[in-house]
Structure 1
Amino acid sequence: MKRAALLVLLFIFISSPVFAGLSALSAQADVPAQAGRIHYLNADGIVNPVMAEFIVKSIETASKENAEALVIQLDTPGGLDLSMRDIVKAMLSSEVPIIVYVAPAGSRAASAGVFITYAAHIAAMAPGTNIGSAHPVAMGAEKMDETMLKKVENDAVAYIKGIAAKRHRNAQWAEKAVRESANITAEEALKLKVIDLIAQDRQALFAAIDGRKVELVSGEKVLNTANAEVKDVEMGLRYRILNAISNPNVAYILMMIGLIGLYFELSNPGLILPGVVGAICLVLAFYAFQTLSVNYAGLLLIGLAALFFIAEIKVASYGLLTIAGIVALTLGSLMLFESPLPFMRLSLWVVLPTVVTITAIFLGAMYYGLKIRHKKPVSGIEGLIDEIGIANTDIAKEGKVFIDGEYWDAWSNEPIKAGERAKVVEVKGLRLKVSKI
């Protein structure tokens, strides 16, 4: 009997964990699977190398963290072709679902933004947004001929049609957007199957895409986004700074500050601060130039303007070098960035005040330098000319005068009585010629 009881107890002891495990599995099966985190980033502005790096790194991070999806809230006027292709390449090979959401109302996905939207696993737009105008443009000082423009256009058409085929979007409209710069609203885009849905805000977006199937490189995935936690992905300080200086207006101002800083450092060796600030600003400006369409003729003219201003101090040109510097600076500034895209050109409201300010600074520095050059000596015995003293004795052909705490031998062409004020008019050796005041 005891033996039977022991066997029963042993059976209960061994089987308890098994039943507990089965109960836990059953309970887990009854609870719906929890949604992963949604990574959410804002891509607002020109598509440039900084934005491309930020988006590509965000895709890599989302993949490493096994995110449920990555949402790119897009608002762009377009940008550089190479940067756009880097983004599209990363999107097409992504292991995490990517949703491009053109928002908020009033936003657009223009030019390069069309390609990025087409490359998304799910494309969405907010009401009051638009997409289109993807015709390629010639960048730089050299204008493309018709043959080259046609080649670039055909390449862009083939590229976006390939993306459209992979994402099952409207390839016909995509070609029209490239060849004819077609532009449509969110509602029209939905009807033409350019996008997958329209969402009022991001919560509506998450609800709309919940349960949708997307095709990843690794296979099909069903999105679980209705109650997902959202992680906002912000641009770090480095990205924000680099993105800011990639603006042509900011890059231009940095270059001007750099030139002024170096000018003052070379004019007054040892100040250090102007040279350091100038060098840093020039390095940042030339970094920005790598992302912009720079006309090197304009850059050369600005350099010549700086040389003309410096030469004005050394050479008596009666203002001709100053005028040449102002003309070269103005022309160089207007020519510096050449692009058919307004956001890739310098604003006239930045150029004119900057040219006026730079000219005023150089003219002020030159005036100060010339004034110092022609100023009478302030040290040594020559510095006594025009100084005022008191006659210590009667002065005629000889006498004594007290100036700056010292007694000097003096003479005068007119009699000066002791105690009267006298002014130094000439210095001969250690004797002073004075005149009565």
Structure 2
Amino acid sequence: MSSPGRLRLPLALLALGVAGVVAASDPPATESSEGLVYSVTLNDALHPVTARYLKEAIQKANEARARLLILKLDTPGGLVSSVEEMVKDITSSRVPIVVFVNGSKAASGGFFLTVAADVAVMAPGTRIGAAHPILIPTIPTGGEIPKDSPIMDKVENDLAAYARSLASNRGRNEKIAEQIVRKSSSFTEREALKLRLIDYVCHDENEILSILDGRTIRRFDGTTETLHLSKVRIVSLDMSTRDRVLSVLADPTLAIFLLFGGIIGLYVEFTHPGLIAPGVIGAICLLLFALSSQILPMNWVGVGLVVTGIVLFLMELKVPSYGTLTAGGVACLVLGALMLFKSEPGMPALGAARWTILSIAGSAAVIMASLTTLVVRASRHKPTTGSAGLQGERGTALTDLDPEGRVFVHGEYWNARAARPIKQGAKVRVIRVDDLVLDVEESP
């Protein structure tokens, strides 16, 4: 009867020990415990690579149950498709997101990201706006599509409605948001704050955290959330090496150079087998261009024109056309480069600079004109080697030629024959070359 009493005390002590271990391994979440604030820097054009970078950062913040995610933004804009994807990720995030315009501007597509954020902040000396859509014509017409075009009206109305919707759901100024799209208006940080486009003007992330600590914000779905940011640790989520490389390849100017370099490298390798280096470099350039074409909205008709232009340049070296092939190559090169990227309704920033295109085409034209001139001059020179180089040469008869004998011509001994007898020591002139026998005549 006494054994249960003796076991009661050890069992109680064991239970207390287990409870202590559990409590130590899983402390209760309190407002005083340290939280995470993720920081993301985006200072590039808005395209699929930057969109994926932001999506992965938001996913990581959601998985870590971060208190906040701060997107430091400095962008000239980008593709509408990428902007819409990024806005969707921002508005559906479980973690509140602050867009901090830090650097110079949030232009075009950057305006939509800012107005879609839970909290919109700008640093002193920055600007926001200029979100009017731009359509790059598929065939160069010397300018943009007219503003009164039905296509432009559709795009403008769609983006204006998009801006109003985002501003309305975030409690921001719908009228000014629409004006930024329709009139391409831009505002400084103080003007944007006064017009209720943004919520605060701050110098850095720490100031943002101190201002937002204890504030209650309204989420995109209408719910409210109080931010506790007094004891947090800021963690920077840098872009991966893969995404940094892909972001560099998303430069349209670089894409054009990769295409040019790849075709010329392979041409040199095919015409000079064994050099290896040009072929390897050309293949790498074309592979990088293929990767770039998966990021940028490529127009393959433009690619075909660029390739045709380069082929015409190379043909000029083989078949001199006195500038005809060069002129065709320049025309194809310029037209193809101008329409190399598809016309996507929306934002500027993704397009090859015209000065780059004209510089490349002009340089190619000058080089081909110089090479064509050298080829033409060389074709007019009298041959100095081979059978053609011996015709008309003068020499000396080493033996009597009646009709055959030996002569000394061009520093060499030759078998020769003559239609009329020629005495030994007489001067002779080569009429033609027949295999290894020279037909000669006596030279006065």
Of the candidates 179, 186, 191, which is equivalent to residue 188 of structure 1?
191
Partner secondary structure for residue 94 of structure 1: coil
Partner residue, 1:421? none
Of the candidates 187, 195, 198, which is equivalent to residue 201 of structure 2?
198
Given residue 32 of structure 1, which amino acid in structure 2 is its aligned partner? S
Distance 2:324 2:42 in 1: 49
Distance 2:89 2:202 in 1: 25
Deviation for aligned residue 1:335 = 5.5
Distance 2:149 2:438 in 1: 83
Given residue 44 of structure 2, which amino acid in structure 1 is its aligned partner? G
1:354 aligns with 2:380: no
Partner secondary structure for residue 93 of structure 2: coil
| Structure 1 residues 9 and 95, CA gap change in structure 2 (3 angstroms) | closer
Of the candidates 154, 157, 172, which is equivalent to residue 157 of structure 2?
154
Distance 1:325 1:273 in 2: 26
| Structure 1 residues 11 and 278, CA gap change in structure 2 (3 angstroms) | closer
Distance 1:273 1:367 in 2: 29
Partner residue, 1:173? 176
Partner residue, 1:312? 316
User: Which sits farther off after the overlay, 201-210 or 338-347?
Assistant: 338-347
Deviation for aligned residue 1:117 = 0.7
Distance 2:93 2:305 in 1: 46
1:123 aligns with 2:126: no
Distance 1:375 1:235 in 2: 64
Deviation for aligned residue 1:251 = 1.7
Distance 1:71 1:119 in 2: 13
Given residue 350 of structure 1, which amino acid in structure 2 is its aligned partner? T
Of the candidates 123, 135, 150, which is equivalent to residue 132 of structure 2?
135
Given residue 289 of structure 2, which amino acid in structure 1 is its aligned partner? A
Instruction: Extract unaligned runs of 5+ from structure 2.
Output: 140-144
Deviations 1:187-230 (A, max 9, x none): 22222322221111122222222233343769654433344222
Deviation for aligned residue 1:396 = 6.2
Deviations 1:328-379 (A, max 9, x none): 434544555679976344334423432244345656777898879x99798x
Partner residue, 1:34? 34
Partner residue, 1:48? 47
Q: Is the 8 A contact 1:72 1:100 kept in 2?
A: yes
Distance 1:29 1:255 in 2: 56
| Structure 1 residues 134 and 382, CA gap change in structure 2 (3 angstroms) | same
Of the candidates 189, 195, 210, which is equivalent to residue 213 of structure 2?
210
| Structure 1 residues 315 and 10, CA gap change in structure 2 (3 angstroms) | closer
TM-score (norm 1): 0.75
Given residue 259 of structure 1, which amino acid in structure 2 is its aligned partner? I
Deviations 1:15-68 (A, max 9, x none): 86499689979x9799922122x2211111211122112111221122223333
Partner residue, 1:343? 349
Given residue 197 of structure 1, which amino acid in structure 2 is its aligned partner? Y
Q: Is the 8 A contact 1:256 1:358 kept in 2?
A: no
Distance 1:30 1:54 in 2: 31
Partner residue, 1:420? none
User: Which sits farther off after the overlay, 266-275 or 55-64?
Assistant: 266-275
Partner residue, 1:259? 263
| Structure 1 residues 28 and 267, CA gap change in structure 2 (3 angstroms) | closer
User: Which sits farther off after the overlay, 354-363 or 59-68?
Assistant: 354-363
Identity, % of aligned positions: 35
Distance 2:22 2:283 in 1: 70
Instruction: Extract unaligned runs of 5+ from structure 1.
Output: 417-423
User: Which sits farther off after the overlay, 27-36 or 325-334?
Assistant: 27-36
TM-score (norm 2): 0.74
Q: Is the 8 A contact 1:43 1:74 kept in 2?
A: yes
Partner secondary structure for residue 67 of structure 1: coil
Q: Is the 8 A contact 1:95 1:218 kept in 2?
A: no
Deviation for aligned residue 1:96 = 1.8
Partner residue, 1:224? 228
Partner residue, 1:274? 278
Distance 2:265 2:90 in 1: 43
Partner residue, 1:239? 243
Deviations 1:68-121 (A, max 9, x none): 3221111112111111000011111112221110003xx111111111111111
Give the root-mean-square deviation of aligned CA atoms.
Answer: 4.8
Given residue 115 of structure 1, which amino acid in structure 2 is its aligned partner? F
Partner secondary structure for residue 61 of structure 2: helix
Partner residue, 2:142? none
Distance 1:186 1:239 in 2: 30
Given residue 88 of structure 1, which amino acid in structure 2 is its aligned partner? V
Partner residue, 2:106? 109
Q: Is the 8 A contact 2:77 2:349 kept in 1?
A: no
Partner residue, 1:65? 64
Partner secondary structure for residue 72 of structure 1: strand
Partner secondary structure for residue 35 of structure 2: coil
Distance 1:135 1:129 in 2: 19
| Structure 1 residues 333 and 148, CA gap change in structure 2 (3 angstroms) | closer
